[in-house]
Amino acid sequence: MASKILDSFLSENLKDLKDKGLYNVIDPLQGANGPIIKIAGKELINLSSNNYLGLATNQRMINASIEATKKYGVGAGAVRTINGTLKIHVELEEKLAAFKGTEAAIAFQSGFNCNMGAISAVMDQNDAILSDELNHASIIDGCRLSKAKIIRYKHSDMDDLRLKAKQAKESGQYKKIMVITDGVFSMDGDIAKLPEIIEIAQEFDLITYVDDAHGSGVLGKGAGTVKHFGLSDKVDFQIGTLSKAIGVVGGYVAGKKDLIDWLKVRARPFLFSTSLTPGAAAACIEAINILTESTELYEKLWENGNYLKKGLKDLGFNIGESETPITPCIIGEEEKTQIFSKRLNEEGVYAKAIVFPTVPRGTGRVRNMPSAGHSKEMLNKALAIYEKVGKEMGII
């Protein structure tokens, strides 16, 4: 018999979310997640995916994925440490290390898994982690899982980080102290102050961990935030995802050989969850080939990002302080933000509203993620729709 307690828990809480307008309705796409998407029979200009370089639909990668699937099958068959390590997993890790400029790399099934596995493989209850208050949910969960003391510092506030690092070090309570930051913060598009973070880390002997999910493919000619600042030899953990700019699925850590060897024996998602599918691994390898052969897509992404930013700013929208192609359009009040996003959608632009609790109350925004796959025509059309809806709602 089904649990009555569970039944009432679910029905009460689902009703509560729906009453508050917080229940997230998921719209399935009727085709690929490209610059134009189709939802419920309607075509929309897509400004909401993380497919920064447009690689999710890249033909070379599709072909590589098909060939690998034919050769190896659809599944890897086991976890990496039993017999689920295929030659293409090893090749992918070698490519990632070369791309990131590190001695070695380890691949995971997702960026989320990577943060769950990597942090807790090294940190424990005797340690402390200094974490930027805007770090991604998977970092927060990875930190919790490690049982280390979590010390949050104010977003990109280097005085606060220095003070907290000093207090943690001088307390003598912790065996190891780590500092963790996103490379690029996805809600505002700002870049972590890595040179200062590294300086503080060196002063207080901190382990450094950068999750570059939104910086890889986007900064440092594609190699990411760490490379952008020329700090490849100073960051211990370079984390990334294979699901955003790379366009597929998966995650990785790049770093020193000993670190990667340790993760291979201690990171639990690597040990206890089946490895990446052969098709995904092959597509990722091909993506790295594409990015190392040419910076064309990278340049197109920036050109499109700058174009959309300038267009929205010229129209009078508040686009915040983004330093990357991520372009928030800050509306403020939550309900108004939701209505704005809905009106954009009705007119032909898919740009999701992001409101509290994902961002602070009163800073609701519609977040735009232009990609290398958008044409100027698509962006002009999107800008015209922004202008129409913005004027209609008295925002500009």
Task: Mark the segment that binds ligand PMP (CB under 6 A) among 8-16, 194-202, 210-218, 328-336.
Answer: 210-218
Q: Closest distance between ligand PMP and the C-beta of residue 13, in Å?
A: 24
Tokens 């700002």 correspond to: 190
Taking 3-state DSSP, the helix, strand and coil percentages for the chain, each rounded to the nearest 5, stand at 45, 15, 35
Indicate the residue type of 254: A
> Between 54 and 311, whose beta carbon lies closer to ligand PMP?
54
Give the residue from 163, 178, 201 showing the smallest Cα distance to 126. Answer: 178
CA 192 to each of CA 61, 186, 251, 281, 327: distance values in angstroms, whole numbers, following the listed order: 31, 11, 20, 29, 16
E runs forming strands in the chain: 36-39, 42-46, 104-108, 128-132, 149-153, 177-182, 207-211, 237-241, 251-255, 327-332, 349-350, 353-354, 364-368
Q: Which is nearer to ligand PMP, 182 or 190 (CB)?
A: 182
Strand order in the sheet with 36-39: 36-39, 42-46, 349-350
Q: How far is the CB of 9 from ligand PMP (least distance, A)?
A: 27
Is 264 annotated in the active site? no
The candidate with the shortest Cα–Cα distance to 80, out of 122, 117, 112, is 117
Site string for ligand PMP, 46-85 (x = CB under 6 A): ----------------------------------------
State which residue has the least CB distance to ligand PMP: 111
By beta-carbon proximity to ligand PMP, the closer residue of 368 and 389 is 368
Query: Which residue, among 361, 313, 367, 306, has the nearest Cα to 340 in the 3D structure?
Result: 367
Q: How many residues of this chain interact with ligand PMP, rule: CB under 6 A?
A: 14
Whether 223 contacts 216, CB under 8 Å: yes
- Confirm if 181 and 192 have CB atoms less than 8 A apart: yes
Could you tell me if 183 and 211 are in contact, meaning their C-beta atoms sit under 8 angstroms apart? yes
- 168 or 249: whose CB is closer to ligand PMP? 249
Measured at the CA of 270, the angle between CA 264 and CA 272, to 5 degrees, comes to 125
Site string for ligand PMP, 8-37 (x = CB under 6 A): ------------------------------
Phi, psi of 23 (to 5 degrees): -80, 125
- Cβ atoms of 80 and 89 within 8 Å: the answer is yes
Which residue among the candidates 244, 309, 352, 374 is catalytic per the annotation? 244
Smallest distance, ligand PMP to C-beta of residue 251, A: 5
Output 280 or 389, the one with its CB closest to ligand PMP: 280
Contact status: 112 vs ligand PMP (CB under 6 A): yes
CB of 144 to ligand PMP, least distance (A): 15
Q: Which of these is catalytic: 136, 164, 214, 227?
A: 214
Of residues 249 through 308, those in contact with ligand PMP by CB under 6 A are 251
Among 186, 225, 238, 324, indicate the residue that binds ligand PMP (CB under 6 A): 186
CB 157 within 8 A of CB 180: no
Out of 104, 213, 349, 383, name the contact with ligand PMP by CB under 6 A.
213
Q: Is 240 in the site for ligand PMP (CB under 6 A)?
A: no
Q: Which stretch binds ligand PMP (CB under 6 A): 67-75, 187-195, 206-214, 372-380?
A: 206-214
186 as an active site residue: the answer is yes
Rank residues 139 and 198 by Cβ distance to ligand PMP and give the closer one.
139
Binding residue for ligand PMP, selected from 80, 89, 95, 136, defined by CB under 6 A: 136
Q: Which of 120, 131, 138, 186 is catalytic?
A: 186
Question: In terms of CB distance, is 210 or 383 closer to ligand PMP?
Answer: 210
Measured CA to CA, the distance from residue 187 to residue 305 in angstroms comes to: 15
Contact stretch for ligand PMP (CB under 6 A) within 21-29, 108-116, 162-170, 372-380: 108-116
| Residues binding ligand PMP (CB under 6 A) | 110-112, 115, 136, 138, 182, 186, 211, 213-214, 241, 243, 251
> Where in the sequence numbering do the catalytic residues fall?
186, 214, 244
